[in-house]
Structures are given as C-alpha cells and as structure tokens.
Chains A and B, each alone.
Chain A
Amino acid sequence: ATQMTQSPSSLSASVGDRVTITCRASQGIGNALGWYQQKPGKAPKLLIFDTSSLQSGVPSRFSGSGSGTDFTLTISSLQPEDFATYYCLQDYNYPRTFGQGTRLEIK
C-alpha cells in the first residue's frame, strides 16, 4: 500500500498567518491527491482534488500544489473557521490511503 506521511502532525498559528502542510507519498502517485478538512465531531470535507483543483464552494485562500511524491496544502491567510485537522488522501491506487492528519491549532 502507498503510505502517506503528513508533516507537521500539529501546528500552531494565528489568524492571518500563511500556513503550509505537506504530504509525502511512499511512491509516485501522479497528481491523484486530495485534501480534506475535519472539524471535531464532523465528517471530513473535501477541499482540493487533483492536487490543485478547488472543490466548489471552498474559499480561494486554500490552494494545493505538487506532483509525484510531494504535495502541499497552503492556506494563504488563516481564518478562525480554518482551525481543524487536515488529511491528504491518495486515489492513485488501491487501497486508498490517508495521511495521519495535521492538527491546526490557534496560537
């Protein structure tokens, strides 16, 4: 199975900060990577697919980049509602695998 490793596992930041989360795949996955946001007690929410395509309704401060094995999620200016846990998910091959998550906390 393709292992997905996220870093950092947790991150403290302030409103207005620019934040970057990385996800590394154990093998090349092309651009078949998505990012999901999860708030406590809620289901994950799709933010980005195809590495850099913004899901409808998601604010433009979220962006994604990368290819092959290294990917990033960037939030250009943190808003209070962005404090959550973020997961990457590869859909290049089976089994689908998630990263272990990055918890974004308020500093």
Chain B
Amino acid sequence: QVQLQQWGAGLLKPSDTLSLTCAVYGGSFSDYYWSWNRQSPGKGLEWIGEINHSGSTNLNPALKSRVSMSVDTSKNQFSLKLTSVTAADTAVYYCARGVAVPGSSDRFDLWGRGTLVTVSS
C-alpha cells in the first residue's frame, strides 16, 4: 500500500525558513508528480506548487518568490522550502500525489497526514 510520510520542523520564528520533506513508500515515484498544499487554521486549502521526478516545477505565483521544491529520486522523496516565514504562513502543510493521465484532468489521489507549522516569536 502506497503511503506518503512527511516531516519537518513544527515551530518556526518569523524570518526562518520552513523545510518539509515527504517520502513515498510502496509505489512508483516517477509515474506521478508531487504537490504541496496548505491549510491555515480554520481556513480553506491553498495549492503551493508541484514537482515531477525530473525536478520540473509549477509554483503558486502568490508564493513563488519564497518557495523552492526539490526531489531526491534515490530516496523517493520530495521537499518544500519556504523562506522568510511570517505568522501568515502558520498552517497545516500537506504533501500529495498528483495523477496526470492523457485525456483526463489531473487530481491528487493520495495525501500525507499533514504537518502543522506554527510561526511565532
């Protein structure tokens, strides 16, 4: 059974860099693309961006200047970095698997359990 396991620091200070990693266990890494999404407390979902196994990314313009993503295909892992965090970046961050099939629209069919990241001085 395919699982996404994510981890990273849960408490940051303003201006710190958020760093999260998501590992893919039990399934193909190269047949999918990989996404990060977040959800502020009591709020809706926000797409941060996505990366494929080759390292090609699509990023949300609202965060693009602060976001970077990377992959480590030797470990079936992908990572998110968000620089210069503020309280507005406090959220639960989710990694997700993206499915792209010709003739069909994309979707996120598998999600990690989420990591709460709190930004506070």
Q: Is the CB of A95 within 8 A of B44?
A: no
* CA–CA, A75 and B105, complex, Å: 22
User: Nearest Cβ distance between residue B9 and chain A, in whole angstroms?
Assistant: 20
Chain A residues with Cβ below 8 Å from B96 are: 43
**Minimal Cβ-Cβ distance residue in A for B113:** A43
A7 within 8 Å of B by Cβ? no
Q: What is the total of A-B residue contacts with beta carbons within 8 Å?
A: 66
Instruction: Select one of A43, A91, A94 contacting B105, CB under 8 A.
Output: A91
Pair B47/A97 contact, Cβ less than 8 Å: yes
Known A98-B45, A101-B44; judge A33-B108 contact (CB<8 A): no
Measured CB to CB, the residues of B under 8 A from A are 44-47, 58-62, 94, 96, 104-109, 111-114
5 contacts between A and B (CB under 8 A): A30-B105, A43-B111, A49-B104, A50-B104, A91-B105
